[in-house]
Structure 1
Amino acid sequence: MITGGVAPVVAPLIGGAVLGAAGWRGIFLVLTALAVLTCCGVFVRVPETLPPRLRHGGGLTTTFRTMGGLFSDRSYLGYALAYGFGFGVLYSYLAASPFVYQHVYGLSTGAYTVALAVNAFGFTSTGAVNRRIVGRFGPRALLRVGLTAMLICCAVLCVLAAKGRPPFLPAVVLIYLTASSLGLVAANATALATARAPHAAGSASALLGALQFGLAALVAPLVGLGGEGTALPMAATMTASVCVASLGGLLLARRDRPPREGGRTDVGVVQAGPSQDGG
């Protein structure tokens, strides 16, 4: 989880280094090499963990039936929205941050790199803290804390941006706190969402990933439509995303109860017994 969240923040730093050394073609060569290495690593080092007696043939009909059952579960949908639109906040920031930091505030490339690294550290450190305290406070409480903090920070940033150029230090602090709070949201929303479908965890996780990267493709052009001379498009998109995330995590999933072991869950296609997918 931490790796998946840090990667979008660190990738521009690595990409910038590759671009300077090998040009834009070098970036695609590096991506191809990484994809080949990843595939080889999966085939060679990652075994199938699902027992043969629990495997099934799959197919589109089964897949869509499982996904439909997941989305019919109000609590799963709430956690999925919290997860996906929580990352929508991050991708809104990543899409607009080069223009905001370098054009609005005049930061150098080196200073912008430091800003990205600091926010990546905030996300990572909060994720590490979450692992230590989740047993004491519970994932639902920590999810609420993370969403509330993100909502407040994004709203304040949006108000400041609407009045003109936000003061640099408050803007940087608010963005850092937002990125740090996402560490609580991402980890706990994932755990709670997959817990809603213990026998379809693969499909549940796949839907979270699809929502995450689908929103990444959506928010990037939306932020760009606002131009590069103001921080308002970034702040407004971040605020809109966190509002949807909060709607899911704080309202739709507020009555969530752990599924009864050995019985039927709220997800109509998920039952105790043979797994519904390979996850």
Structure 2
Amino acid sequence: MTVVLGALLALGPLTIDMYLPALPKIADDLSVTSSVAQLTLTGTLAGLAIGQLVVGPLSDSLGRRRPLMAGIVLHMVASLLCLAAPNIELLSIARGLQGMGAAAGMVVAVAVVGDLYAESAAAAVLSRLMLVLGVVPVLAPSLGAVVLLKLSWHWVFGVLVVLAGLLLVMAALALPETLPPAHRRPLRVRGIVSTYGELLRDVKFMTLVLVGALGMSGLFAYIAGAAFVLQGHYGLNQQAFALLFSAGAIALIGATQFNVVLLKWFSPQRIVFWALMLSLLGGVVFIAITQTHTGGLYGFLTPVWVILGAMGFVIPNAPAIALARHQDAAGTAAALLGAAQFSLGAVVAPLVGVLGNDESALALVMTVSVAIALVLLLSARSSTSVDVEDGDSVLAETA
């Protein structure tokens, strides 16, 4: 079950990461600027956000399996459109459809965790899933680079068609239905709107949603700018870029697995707080390094890896705490969590290009995202009744 759920979660990041080494080549071949080429990433993130908002309520009404299968088929069709895309406009649209299809796997995987597990157990399971999910950023850019050695960037999407097809077979054979008919919600527009309204009015839930989304925004900023900084500024080839990009993913993976150990001693709330503190410290150092132009390549990579590692504690814990508040609508709650992450990512990713696609732009965007997340977490207790530590806030405890 862990492998199957991890594979479903992986479809979205695989769709995002596999073509990253090709971004500079896409910009050249389609005669567009790097910022315009990055809009294909924005299209994918927007598709992931919109798709999750649609699939979540459907999975609460129809069960988990049917919306999942339809989403994977949509992803395969969109990948074929990307393969044949003659211009940046069609490629961007097809990438958006790809994201919508991949959203089904991500929503259903998280919803199944919500169906089966409570808060701390869900955080532990999501951490284990991050181990499976974390393999994707390690392998995807390298796989894309291998394709680019022999073929044009179009064929990266041909490989995605095959991988999605294999995932479809795996899900059909190995994923049971975890939402019994008695627990399903009627498929009515008024009911769906009511459920989303209930979630949006839950201040604690929405605070956790925004904290998780802002944490992910830093990751998306790195995804958007890494190829241009590492290949453009530091002169790395596609294969060297893939290796260093994978090293950042390893930092993220390692943190998610250490998170399982920490959960035996600390609550998910406390772990999120200290992870954001660590990432903010790394961000301040990152800005200082980029402004003084010290450290070279390793001066750039070290704070990035610190921030990515800290996000390995935030990404599984914040959603687990949020899901525990609405297990009766796990699909819709998972959709809102994912939609917030990817819609905010769709806004943040182009900012790196707008600000110059360099180290300073990347440092600023990553640090500001983390800082806002921390401010939200700390301000929640004073403005609402949101606690960050079993009834006593970490802020009061540290004070």
2:300/2:359 contact within 8 Å kept: no
Residue of structure 1 equivalent to 2:361: 233
User: How many angstroms does 1:110 deviate by?
Assistant: 3.6
* Of 20-29 and 146-155, the range deviating more from structure 2: 20-29
* 1:199 pairs with 2:328: yes
1:245 corresponds to 2:377: no
| Aligned counterpart, 1:276 | none
1:43/1:61 CA distance change after superposition, 3 Å: farther
Q: Which residue of 1 aligns with 2:319?
A: 190
In 1, distance between residues paired with 2:147 and 2:239?
15
Corresponding residue for 1:269? none
**Structure 1 residues 119 and 110, CA, compared in 2 at 3 Å: closer, same or farther?**
same
1:18 aligns with 2:147: yes
Query: In the TM superposition, what is the alpha-carbon distance from 1:231 to its structure 2 partner?
Result: 0.9
Residues 138 and 246 in structure 2, CA contact (< 8 A), matched pair in contact too: yes
> What is the rounded CA distance, in whole Å, between the counterparts of 2:355 and 2:195 in structure 1?
39
The CA deviation string for residues 222-243 of structure 1, in whole angstroms up to 9 with x for no partner, is: 1111234x31111111122112
Q: TM-score, normalised by structure 2?
A: 0.59
Look up the match of 2:192. 63
Aligned to 2:238: 109
Quote the Cα distance in structure 2 between the aligned partners of 1:257 and 1:129: 20
Q: Does structure 1 conserve the Cα–Cα contact (< 8 Å) formed by 2:134 and 2:250?
A: no
Instruction: Name which of 194, 199, 205 aligns with 1:76.
Output: 205
- State how far apart, in whole Å, the 2-side matches of 1:258 and 1:34 are: 42
List per-residue Cα deviations over 1:146-176 (Å, max 9, x = no partner): 1111111112212332344664333221111
Over 3 Å counting, the alpha-carbon distance change for 1:110 and 1:42 in structure 2 is: closer
Q: 1:25 to 1:131 in 2, by over 3 A?
A: same
TM-score of the two chains, using structure 1 as the length reference: 0.83
Once residues 95 and 101 of structure 1 are traced to their aligned partners in structure 2, the CA distance between those partners, rounded to angstroms, is: 11
The farther-off stretch of 1-10 and 97-106 is 1-10
7-16 vs 47-56, which deviates more?
A: 7-16
Equivalence for 2:310: 181
Counterpart residue identity of residue 53, structure 1: A
Please say if residues 145 and 238 of structure 2, whose CA atoms lie closer than 8 Å, have aligned partners that are also in contact.
Answer: no
CA 1:248–1:198: 2 relative to 1, 3 Å:
farther
Report what 2:220 is aligned to: 91
Letter paired with 2:195: T
- Residue 195 of structure 1: CA displacement? 1.2
Show the 5 A alignment for 1:153-164.
153-164=282-293
Contact 1:88–1:212 (Cα < 8 Å) also in 2:
yes
Which has the larger share of helix? 2
- In the alignment, which residue of structure 2 is the partner of 1:255? 387
Paired residues, number: 258
**Secondary structure of 1:50's match?**
coil
Aligned to 1:45: 174
Offset at 1:5?
A: 5.2
Worse overlay, 168-177 or 91-100: 168-177
Which one is further off, 113-122 or 87-96?
113-122
2:226 partner amino acid: S
Correspondent of 2:279 among 150, 154, 172: 150
Residues 114, 9 of structure 1: alpha-carbon distance in 2 compared, 3 angstrom cutoff: closer
The residue type equivalent to 2:152 in the other structure is: G
Q: What is the alpha-carbon root mean square deviation over aligned residues?
A: 2.3
- C-alpha contact (below 8 Å) 1:150/1:177 kept by paired residues: yes
State the identity as a percent: 31
> In the aligned structure 1, how far is the partner of 2:146 from the partner of 2:387?
47
Aligned counterpart, 2:256: 127
Distance 1:257 1:155, change over 3 A: closer
For residue 272 of structure 1, what is the aligned residue in structure 2? none
SS, match of residue 335 in structure 2: helix
Counterpart selection for 1:213 from 342, 347, 354 = 342
Give the AA of the match of 2:280.
Answer: L
Q: Following the alignment from structure 1 to structure 2, what is the Cα–Cα distance between the partners of residues 199 and 6?
A: 31
Q: Which runs of 5+ in 2 are unaligned?
A: 1-128, 392-399
- Range with bigger deviation, 64-73 or 100-109: 100-109
Conservation of the 8 A alpha-carbon contact between 2:138 and 2:250? no
For the residues of structure 1 that align with 2:138 and 2:218, how far apart are their CA atoms?
A: 12
Instruction: Provide structure 1 residue ranges, at least 5 long, that are not aligned to the other structure.
Output: 260-279
Structure 1 residue aligned with 2:270, among 108, 123, 141?
141
2:134·2:252 contact (CA, 8 Å) conserved in 1? yes
Q: Which residue type is aligned with residue 46 of structure 1?
A: L
1:171 aligns with 2:300: yes
**Do the aligned partners of residues 44 and 110 (structure 1) sit closer, same or farther apart at CA in structure 2, a change above 3 Å counting?**
closer
